[in-house]
Amino acid sequence: MSVYQAPLRDMQLLVEQALHKSGLANCSGLEEFDSDLVSAVLEEAGKFASGELAPLNTVGDAEGCRFENGRVTTPPGWKDAYRQFCEAGWMGLALPAEYGGQSLPKFIAQPVNEMWLSANLAFVMFHALAQGGSEILLHFGTDEQKQRYLEPIITGRWTVAMALTEPGAGSDLGALTTKAIPGRDGSYLIKGQKIYITYGDHDMAENIVHLVLARTPDAPAGSRGISLFAVPKFRIGNDGRPGESNDLVCTGIEHKTGLHGSPTCSISYGDNDNCYGELIGHENRGLEAMFVLMNEARLSCGMQGVGLGEAGFQRAQAYALERIQGTDAVNGGGRTAIAHHPDVARMLLSIRSEVMGLRGLGYLIAALIDKAEHTDHADERKTLQARIALLTPVFKAYATEKANLMAGTTIQVFGGMGFVEETGVAQLMRDARITTIYEGTTGIQARDLVFRKIKADGGEALLHLLAEIDQDTEQFHADNPFGPHLRQNASAVRQAVEIINSAANHSLALNAGGVPFLEALGKLCCAWQLACTANTAIKREHENPQYYRNLRALADYYFAFTVPHIAAHLTTFRHADRGVAEYRFEP
């Protein structure tokens, strides 16, 4: 049963909002990507998501992947869907046409990605890896490496796997011990054990390019001694085709609470001291290269939050409109669909408002990336890149934290039926659970935000964002009531920036208060997006009264139910050493 329909109207509206807010709408060189093209792409992608991917989502969850004799078998239907996905050109949508992609801008690719993530997150995990892997090669690969790897990856003949984590090196990549011994021909021999490798092995493509972090013999300790290697599952012959097996073996897959359809592999590299790898970029600068992929992956995680939220909302709303139970306590009358119970409406709106705010933010970041690429002004590019860097950890962490809450709320709307696996919504909760962990936990995003994205530039990028929020409110329609609330909360965040700037790096309050601060900023960003959407809705109400009134109501809801917590988070942030300073954990 395909239960997902791409929310095309919402998507188009927020693409338009992102184009406008990023300034991309006035940017030359993108004229061909007009609203007709956007509509056509989104419509086509929507059909593929509903028709091909969504029906496989519960299959993947129920059947999972199998591991036998060092080989991973994906769930029934996976392989065929993968072939179709590649043949339709979805893999390389936003990758260079030169290597087989479609060169579409990210502002179009982002809603398309959202559809895949809503329809079947476990399946489509390979996609962000291909995207990020390609960008690494485009940035850091030699011409020869680009020729060798990019076309097969972008067309989906080969997939990308990202081998970072080791049993003793998770969040702390600097502790990894996998070795890379240089050979005479310029290649390296890789040796080590890696875990948690998504699609580290599978049966869908003819080769797998492992991007492996490892240390050369004389590398400095810690994160400044890590290099990045491309390690193909099958060595690549002179004809560019996969040939003999490389010396790497999948030793098992994890039995996870969610994402059953996505194999999470342990891989042993170089058991026979013959695992070929080639250096990508410079020795000891592997983390820098990996972070290109990591940033891509973090944005994808944020979109996973949006996608899972939307998938949950659609199911919860459909059920709540259909399930008759009790009577309407406010309007009277006979038995009613539960959507008309105020508390159920509250739950549905909590999901929908969060999804719309986060979607606005996710699309905006995509448009900012396009803008940074298309601008001719170095200063503007720098400012845009700082904005993107600032918003990335907020979007990653806030969207995924909310994805967990939204999945819980979706189950709650279904009541007892939500707890029964066949209903399908428990899977959302189980799948969502990893999103706050992988690609950097929420705590790590908060550190990144507070220290690298705010403190390191004296808060400039954030103050610039807050000023823009203020400016936006000045342009609000006379009937838009959200300006003063936004300005007041932006001002409260501004005061927190002063605290961040004046505190020492080792301040306990700063270190313990990162997540509450990120929660405050995440809510402010969503409130900003929702208020802007409401502004459009107010102006266009006559075009489609119910739709636009609903969009305005979402902002109303969010400012009443969620925005009041911004001040609470910031109060916490100011006192975040309390209790943490005195408590001693003991076994």
Q: Which token pair is 302?
A: 């944020």
The reply to whether 165 sits near a copy of itself by the rule CB under 8 A is yes
Minimal distance, residue 346 CB to a copy of itself, in Å: 5
Which lies closer to a copy of itself via its Cβ, residue 239 or residue 583?
583
C-alpha pair distances (Å), 398 with each of 359, 405, 441, 502, 521 = 12, 11, 11, 25, 9
The reply to whether 111 sits near a copy of itself by the rule CB under 8 A is no
Site for a copy of itself in 190-219 (CB under 8 A): 195-196
Site for a copy of itself in 512-531 (CB under 8 A): 512, 514-516
The CB density around residue 508, as the number of other CB atoms within 10 Å, is 14
Choices 146-154, 354-362, 391-399, 408-416 (CB under 8 A): range interacting with a copy of itself:
408-416
Instruction: Please return the burial class of 332, using the count of CB atoms within 10 Å of its CB with bins 0-12, 13-18 and 19+.
Output: exposed
The reply to whether 543 sits near a copy of itself by the rule CB under 8 A is no
Choices 42-50, 97-105, 153-161, 255-263 (CB under 8 A): range interacting with a copy of itself:
255-263
The reply to whether 256 sits near a copy of itself by the rule CB under 8 A is yes
Which lies closer to a copy of itself via its Cβ, residue 230 or residue 555?
555
Is residue 439 within 8 A of residue 302, CB to CB? The reply is no
The reply to whether 584 sits near a copy of itself by the rule CB under 8 A is yes
Site for a copy of itself in 385-404 (CB under 8 A): 404
The reply to whether 223 sits near a copy of itself by the rule CB under 8 A is no
Q: How many Cα atoms are found within 13 Å in the side-chain-facing hemisphere of 543?
A: 7
| Residue of 294, 276, 405, 417 whose CA lies nearest to 350 | 405
Find the binder of a copy of itself among 329, 452, 456, 477 (CB under 8 A).
329
The reply to whether 220 sits near a copy of itself by the rule CB under 8 A is no
Is residue 527 within 8 A of residue 489, CB to CB? The reply is yes
The CB density around residue 222, as the number of other CB atoms within 10 Å, is 12
Choices 27-35, 100-108, 213-221, 328-336 (CB under 8 A): range interacting with a copy of itself:
328-336
Kindly state the number of chain residues that form the binding site for a copy of itself, as judged by CB under 8 A: 102
Site for a copy of itself in 553-582 (CB under 8 A): 553-561, 564-565, 567-569, 571-572, 575-576, 578-582
Which lies closer to a copy of itself via its Cβ, residue 154 or residue 197?
197
Catalytic residues: 439
Find the binder of a copy of itself among 63, 254, 460, 470 (CB under 8 A).
254
Minimal distance, residue 6 CB to a copy of itself, in Å: 16
Which lies closer to a copy of itself via its Cβ, residue 467 or residue 580?
580
Q: Which token pair is 464?
A: 């610039």
Site for a copy of itself in 333-362 (CB under 8 A): 335, 339, 341-349, 353
Which lies closer to a copy of itself via its Cβ, residue 374 or residue 433?
433
Which lies closer to a copy of itself via its Cβ, residue 174 or residue 243?
174
Q: Which token pair is 292?
A: 């290109």
- Interior/surface letters 188-210, b for 16+ CB within 10 angstroms, e for the rest: bbbbbbbbbbbbbbbebbebbbb
- Terminal Cα-to-Cα distance of the chain (whole angstroms): 49
Find the binder of a copy of itself among 255, 376, 378, 471 (CB under 8 A).
255
Is residue 442 within 8 A of residue 397, CB to CB? The reply is yes
Which lies closer to a copy of itself via its Cβ, residue 119 or residue 195?
195
Is residue 33 within 8 A of residue 111, CB to CB? The reply is no
431-470 footprint of a copy of itself as x/- string (CB under 8 A): --xx-xxx--xxx--xx-----------------------
Q: Among the residues of 323-415, which ranges form H helices?
A: 342-374, 378-414
Which lies closer to a copy of itself via its Cβ, residue 456 or residue 568?
568
Find the binder of a copy of itself among 374, 381, 507, 540 (CB under 8 A).
507
Which lies closer to a copy of itself via its Cβ, residue 268 or residue 412?
412
Q: Kind of pairing, strands 264-269 and 188-198?
A: antiparallel
| Residue of 252, 193, 337, 277 whose CA lies nearest to 70 | 252
The CB density around residue 101, as the number of other CB atoms within 10 Å, is 22
Sign of the alpha-carbon dihedral angle for 512, 515, 518, 520: negative
Site for a copy of itself in 51-80 (CB under 8 A): none
Site for a copy of itself in 267-296 (CB under 8 A): none
Query: Secondary structure of 126-168 in the HEC alphabet?
Result: HHHHHHHHHHHHHHHCCHHHHHHHHHHHHCCCEEEEEECCECC
| Residue of 295, 22, 356 whose CA lies nearest to 132 | 295
The reply to whether 170 sits near a copy of itself by the rule CB under 8 A is yes
